[in-house]
Structure 1
Amino acid sequence: MPRKEILDALSRYTDPFRVTDGKGFRLKDFDPGDTLGLKMDKEEAVELLQRGSEWLAMEQDILYAQDSWSLLLVFQAMDAAGKDGTIKHVMSRVNPQGCDVFSFKQPSSEELAHDFLWRYSRKVPRRGHIGIFNRSYYEEVLVVRVHQALLSAQKIPPTLIGKKVWDERLDDIDRFEEYLSRQGVIILKFYLNLSYKEQKKRFMDRLDKPNKNWKFSASDVRERRYWNDYMQAYEAAIRGTATPAAPWFVVPADNKWFTRLVVAAAIVETLEKLDLAYPKVTSEQKKDLAAAREELKAES
C-alpha cells in the first residue's frame, strides 16, 4: 500500500479524537462509547490489533537504529479505563530493549523535596527509545487539584501558592513539553475516556470474579465520589496543554478493542510521518564490511 494511502487509512481512526488546540475544548463533546460505526467480533479486533502491533514493532526497530528521535507516550485515565491492558496489547510486539514503562505512584520523600516535574523529567526516553508514562506529571494538575491537601506535602513556599496555581502548573507543563519537542522528543498524550456507567460495570466485574479481586481497591470507590471534580480537572488540563507538538487523543474507552485500535493507529501514524530510515553505511564502513567478509571466508 502506498505511503499516502497508509496515512489516510490511519487518520480515519485518529483525526476524530485528536486535540491540538485546547481553546473551547469540552469533554462532553466526546462520546466514551464511540466506535465510529465499526462493529467487530473479538477475533477480528485481535487480528487487526496484531497487525498494528507488528507494524509498530517494525517502526520501533528503525527508530532504535536511527538513534535520533524518541517517543514519549503519556496515558491518563480514571480507574478501570484500561490503561494497563492498552499498553500491554498495543506494545506486545515491541522490543523491550528499546522501550521503558514507568508507572508513577505516590511520590517518595526525595521526590517531594524537588519541583513537581523533577521525577518525571528524569524518565524522559533517550534518543531511539520509546518511553511510556502510565500516569504522569498530569497527576499534579489532576489528583493534586482534586485533593488539594496533597499540595502542602510538596513543601512549596506558601507565598507561591495562589489562586492561579493550577493555571501556572499547566503553563509549566506546556513549556516543558515544548522544550522536549524541540529536542526531538515526540509526545503523544492519551486520555482514555471512560463513562461513569462503564466504570461501575468494570468495578462490579472485579468484585464478582475472584480472579479479578486483586485489581480492586476500596480507594477506587472513594475516588469515584469525586468523578465530576476529576472531569473538570481533565477538561482544564487538555484545554491548557493541547498543542500540535504535544497533542491529546481523547480515546473512547467503553469498548476496549476500539481503545486499543485508536491508540495503535495514533502511534503508528506518528512514527510513519517521521519517515524513518535505517542509517546509511559510509564508504569507510563498506570497506570494513568487505574486509570482515573476506576474513570470515578465509577461515578453514
Structure 2
Amino acid sequence: MKDIYIEDFKVASKIALKDRSTTFDLGEDEDEVKDQLRKVRKKLGKLQDKMYAHGKYAALICIQGMDTAGKDSLIREVFKDFNARGVVVHSFKVPTELELKHDYLWRHYIALPARGKFGVFNRTHYENVLVTRVHPYYIMNENIPGVNDVSDINDAFWDKRFEQINAFEKHIAENGTIIFKFFLNLSKDEQKNRLLRRLDLEEKNWKFSAGDLKERKLWDKYQECYEDAINRTSKPHAPWYTVPADDKPTARYIVARILYDTLKQYDDIKEPVLGEEEQANIELYRQQLNNE
C-alpha cells in the first residue's frame, strides 16, 4: 500500500481548497484498505488504553465537512476498537435554549475530554464561523450585547470570533489537550451521488432532508467560509488536515494514520508503574492471593 505522510494533509500555510484534492489513491483495493484500517485502529486502541492509564493528555478530534462527507461512518469505523470508557462522541446540532443563554463556546468547553480520554466532536465550534457566516441571521438568536441587527455582523465581528476560537484552542492545548482538526474534503459531484443514494435506497431515506438541497445551492459560499476558517485557525498546536473524502474507506484510513502517527511521537506517554512499596511486595501479594 502507498504510504502516507502527515505533512501531505496538514495545513501549514495558506491554502486554496480548490487546489486540495478530494481523492487519494492508496494503490490497493477497498478490501485491503479496510484491512489496513483495522490494523491501525487496533494500535490506536492500545495507545488510548495507555493514555487513559497515564492520565496526562486528552485528545480532541474535530471533524467538519459538507453534508454527506461521511462524518458519522468515519467516527464509527476509526474508533471501533477503543475502550468505551476512554472515548466520548459529541454531535453538535442547533443550539438549545439553555445553550443560547451562554456564550457560543460554552457547550463545546463543557464537552471537552478529560485527561486520559478522547473526545470526538462531530461538527464543532467551527459551526459558529461556518453555518452562521453563511446564514448570519442565526447570530441574532444568541442575543449578544451590541448586536442589534444583522448589519452589526460585519468583518470586525468575524475577526473577533476567530480570535476567540484561536485563544480557546491555545488555552486547552497548553493545558494538555492534543488537538486534531479534520476537514473531510468532498467534491460537489460526489455529494450529489450520495444524496441520490439517500433517495434511491429505502434504508437510507431517513438520512435525506430537503434542507440538504437548499444548503447545496450555497456550496460555493460554504467552500469560501471553510477555506477562510481553515487558513485563519490552522496553528502548530491545533492544525487542520484536509482529508480527501470522495472515497470513504480511504478517508477513514488517512484519519486513523494521522492520529496514530502523531500520538506515537509523544514519548512521555507511558503506562504508570507501581509505587515502591507495591513493587517490593509483589511476591507477598501473589502469595496472599494464591493462599486464599
Aligned equivalent of 2:270: 277
Which of 82, 93, 100 aligns to 1:94? It is 82
In structure 2, the residue matched to 1:193 is 185
TM-score, reference length from structure 2: 0.94
1:293 is displaced (CA, Å) by: 1.4
**What is the total number of aligned residue pairs between the two structures?**
287
Alignment deviations for residues 98-135 of structure 1 (CA, whole Å, 9 cap, x no partner): 00000001101111111110000001100000000000
RMSD of aligned alpha carbons: 1.6
Shift of 1:282: 2.1
Change (3 A) 1:10 1:108: farther
Q: 1:210 aligns with which of 202, 205, 210?
A: 202
- In the other structure, the counterpart of 1:31 is 21
Deviations 1:47-79 (A, max 9, x none): 111001111111111001101101000000000
Partner of 2:279: 286
1:224 paired with 2:219, answer no
Q: CA 1:142 to 1:253, structure 2 compared with 1: closer, same or farther past 3 Å?
A: same
Q: 2:290 aligns with which of 288, 294, 297?
A: 297
Which digits, 9 at most, give the CA deviation of each residue in 1:219-240, with x for residues without a partner? Answer: 1111101111100110111011
Using the alignment, how far apart are the partners of 2:2 and 2:47 within structure 1?
15
Instruction: Please tell me whether residue 60 in structure 1 is matched to residue 60 in structure 2.
Output: no
On the 8 A contact 1:10/1:269 being kept in 2, the answer is no
Change (3 A) 1:13 1:88: farther
Gapped regions of structure 2 (runs ≥ 5):
none
Kindly provide the CA deviation profile for residues 161-200 of structure 1, in whole angstroms up to 9, marking residues without a partner as x.
5431112111111111011110010000000000011000
Evaluate the alpha carbon distance shift between residue 111 and residue 32 of structure 1 in structure 2; reply closer, same or farther with a 3 A threshold: same
Displacement of 1:297 after TM fit?
A: 2.2
Deviation at 1:40, TM superposition (A): 2.0
Change (3 A) 1:76 1:196: same
Gaps of 5+ in 1: 1-8
Q: Any residues of structure 2 matched to 1:30-49 within 5 Å, and which?
A: 30-35=20-25, 38-49=26-37
Using the TM superposition, give the Cα deviation of residue 25 of structure 1 relative to its aligned residue in structure 2, in angstroms.
Answer: 2.0
What is the distance in 2 between the residues matched to 1:93 and 1:10?
24
Q: C-alpha separation between the residues in 1 aligned to 2:50 and 2:240?
A: 25
1:94-113 matched pairs, under 5 angstroms: 94-113=82-101
Following superposition, the deviation at residue 292 of structure 1 comes to 2.1
- Assess if the C-alpha contact under 8 Å between 2:2 and 2:27 holds in 1: no
Is the alpha carbon distance of 1:106 and 1:288 closer, same or farther for their aligned partners in structure 2, counting shifts above 3 Å? farther
Give the residue type in structure 1 aligned to 2:116.
G
2:136 touches 2:153 (CA, 8 Å); kept in 1? Answer: no
Aligned to 2:248: 256
Distance 1:110 1:52, change over 3 A: same
